[in-house]
């Protein structure tokens, strides 16, 4: 199986031993407490799950700046985005060497992790602006990732962590949430060698379904892991439980049995386009996939990134050769009325025109579903469209 990034074996930071975990929770009662941001809590879950291997905790300001500049920490470890614990107020933990991190996303704010504090540094406005521009490609506060990153404060709390739970992800999505280690075990149990990963934060329409099938066929894959983001999205995105139901129905009815695993991970979307595409590749390598599908405007939002920027970044000197996972570069896919099936646009026969494809904008899809209008079967499987329509009708 493909090796994880940066080490021979995966080293998740979740404390698996129940007795040790109970002792740490008892210790936490006497430690200074810090209510972290949703992003930091999700980072803790990803560290605990092994997706951010080989990190041992939260980066320092110096490491975050170095990663922003050249995708490497100060020690030379390749990492595409900062993994940080940033807050606005450190008065409650000033001088502390060990602190308890409280989860903002669960009622009662339970302890999600214990952190050894190696440094607390306050970023300047210029440093925050520089990092934001480097990671997100913009400093526009209307960008949802920028808004999230710049709204939580400027104090960077560095140090290793011990993760004590997986926040709400394991309880709210018990059939879907899986750690990187669990997915590695799943791949091994299936006997798969070549594995395609598909990242999604949306329900999967016909184009997504066919793209997975095309990728599997082209790389001669033994199986595919559909890996959906379960964390916080921007307003208007479809909730994780609805996406999960749609994907399960599609796989049940339209994929060969025992060729697809449906899983999810606990992370808040960055919408960082090219940088996030590389991050997606890193944690798919950590979970054991050999290939990641990177499509048009992967991990993008609005018009902040070029259509294929997320593919081109893998060919830059900063990224090339840093990861073992291979990228399957996909074009926009849609149903061709000429060919009679879903194809990648770049593979359309000569003379094929844009109007020969069936396109629906996200706005048009939401409008049709809200009005109770069926989606064209060339665009969405009827069983999937039914689940989506019921959701949109319930929002009236």
- Domain end position, chosen among 107, 139, 167: 167
Considering 98, 202, 248, 366, which one is annotated as catalytic?
Answer: 202
Q: Are both 311 and 377 inside the same structural domain?
A: yes
Indicate if 220 belongs to the active site.
no
Q: Are both 159 and 260 inside the same structural domain?
A: no
Locate 61 and state its tokens: 């300001």
Residue 247 lies in a domain: yes
Handedness of CA 150, 151, 157, 158 (dihedral sign): negative
* 333-336 β-sheet, strand order: 341-344, 333-336, 357-358
Residue 7 lies in a domain: no
Q: How far apart are CA 172 and CA 149, in angstroms?
A: 25
Considering 201, 243, 296, 381, which one is annotated as catalytic?
Answer: 201
pLDDT of residue 167: 97
Q: How far apart are CA 52 and CA 63, in angstroms?
A: 15
pLDDT tens-place string over residues 360-389: 777 788 788 888 888 889 899 999 999 999
Residue 338 lies in a domain: yes
Residue 71 lies in a domain: yes
pLDDT of residue 364: 81
Q: Are both 108 and 204 inside the same structural domain?
A: no
Q: Are both 160 and 247 inside the same structural domain?
A: no
Q: Which residues of the chain have pLDDT under 70?
A: none
Q: How far apart are CA 48 and CA 114, in angstroms?
A: 12
SS3 335: strand
Q: How far apart are CA 378 and CA 393, in angstroms?
A: 22
Q: How far apart are CA 342 and CA 335, in angstroms?
A: 4
Q: Are both 200 and 82 inside the same structural domain?
A: no
User: How far apart, in Å, are the Cα atoms of 256 and each of 4, 246, 260, 384?
Assistant: 28, 17, 8, 17
Residue 4 lies in a domain: no
Indicate if 202 belongs to the active site.
yes
What's the structural domain count of the chain? Answer: 2
Q: Are both 127 and 242 inside the same structural domain?
A: no
Q: In sequence order, what are the beta bridge partners of 86?
A: 156
Q: How far apart are CA 101 and CA 370, in angstroms?
A: 41
pLDDT tens-place string over residues 101-120: 999 999 999 999 999 999 99
Full domain range(s) for residue 211: 175-265+273-394
pLDDT of residue 93: 97
- CA 342 from centroid of its chain's CA atoms: 26
Q: Are both 182 and 308 inside the same structural domain?
A: yes
Q: Are both 136 and 228 inside the same structural domain?
A: no
Residue 237 lies in a domain: yes
Locate 134 and state its tokens: 């480097």
- Domain end position, chosen among 167, 201, 228: 167
Q: How far apart are CA 372 and CA 367, in angstroms?
A: 9
User: How far apart, in Å, are the Cα atoms of 234 and each of 273, 340, 390?
Assistant: 14, 35, 21
pLDDT of residue 233: 74
Please, are residues 161 and 113 in contact by the beta-carbon 8 Å criterion? yes
- Domain end position, chosen among 101, 134, 167: 167
Residue 35 lies in a domain: yes
Q: Are both 251 and 389 inside the same structural domain?
A: yes
């Amino acid at each position: 199986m493909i090796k994880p990034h940066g080490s021979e074996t995966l080293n998740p930071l979740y404390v698996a031993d129940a007795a040790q975990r109970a002792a740490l929770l008892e210790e936490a009662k006497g430690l200074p407490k810090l209510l972290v941001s949703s992003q930091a809590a999700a980072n803790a879950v990803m560290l605990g799950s092994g997706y951010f291997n080989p990190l041992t905790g939260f980066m320092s300001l110096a490491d975050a700046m170095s990663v922003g500049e050249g995708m490497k920490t100060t020690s030379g470890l390749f990492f595409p985005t900062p993994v940080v614990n940033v807050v606005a107020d450190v008065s409650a933990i000033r001088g502390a060497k060990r602190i308890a991190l409280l989860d903002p996303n669960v009622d009662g704010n339970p302890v999600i992790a214990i952190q050894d504090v190696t440094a607390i540094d306050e970023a300047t406005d210029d440093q925050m602006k520089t990092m934001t521009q480097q990671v997100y490609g913009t400093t526009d506060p209307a960008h949802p990732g920028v808004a999230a990153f710049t709204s939580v404060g400027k104090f960077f709390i560095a140090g290793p962590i011990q993760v004590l739970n997986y926040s709400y992800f394991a309880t709210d999505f018990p059939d879907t949430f899986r750690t990187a280690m669990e997915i590695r075990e799943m791949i091994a149990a299936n006997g798969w060698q070549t594995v395609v990963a598909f990242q999604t934060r949306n329900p999967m329409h016909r184009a997504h379904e066919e793209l997975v099938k095309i990728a599997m066929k082209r790389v001669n894959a033994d199986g595919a892991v559909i890996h959906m983001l379960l964390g916080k999205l921007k307003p208007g995105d479809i909730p994780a439980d609805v996406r999960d139901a749609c994907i399960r129905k599609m796989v049940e009815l339209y994929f060969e049995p025992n060729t697809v695993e449906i899983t999810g991970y606990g992370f808040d979307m960055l919408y960082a386009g090219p940088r996030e595409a590389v991050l997606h590749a890193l944690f798919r390598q950590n979970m054991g996939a050999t290939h990641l599908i990177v499509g048009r405007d992967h991990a993008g939002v609005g018009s902040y990134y070029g259509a294929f920027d997320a593919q081109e970044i893998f060919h830059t000197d900063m990224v090339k050769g840093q990861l073992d996972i291979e990228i399957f570069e996909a074009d926009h896919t849609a149903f061709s009325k000429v060919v009679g099936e879903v194809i990648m646009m770049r593979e359309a026969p000569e003379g094929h025109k844009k109007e020969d494809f069936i396109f629906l904008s996200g706005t048009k899809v939401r409008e049709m579903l809200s009005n109770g209008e069926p989606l064209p079967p060339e665009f969405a499987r009827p069983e999937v469209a039914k689940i989506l329509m019921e959701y949109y009708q319930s929002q009236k």
